[in-house]
């Protein structure tokens, strides 16, 4: 070991890897189709309500 450290020759750090695709949009925005987060929350709440109703109906039918 010659005192060069982990960087190799000349003390230069390794170059960062290039990104394949640069995303300029913020990550906290919903897809354009939904428009608002509230609509996504309503969709999820509706699906949970439907699933609850179906499971309740299946338990009544199975008796």
> What pLDDT does 25 receive?
53
Tell me the pTM. 0.47
pLDDT for 50 equals: 98
Structure confidence at residue 40 (pLDDT): 85
* Conformation bin of residue 25: beta by default, left when phi > 0, alpha when psi is -120 to 50: beta
pLDDT at 8: 54
CB contact at 8 A, 8 and 1: no
Q: Which residues of the chain have pLDDT under 70?
A: 1-10, 15-31, 33-34
d(CA 16, CA 24): 19
């Amino acid at each position: 070991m010659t005192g060069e450290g982990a960087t190799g020759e000349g003390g230069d750090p390794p170059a960062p890897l290039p990104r394949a695709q640069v995303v300029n949009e913020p990550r906290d925005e919903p897809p354009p189709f939904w428009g608002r987060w509230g609509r996504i929350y309503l969709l999820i709440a509706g699906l949970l309500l439907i699933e609850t109703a179906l499971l309740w109906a299946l338990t009544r039918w199975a008796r």
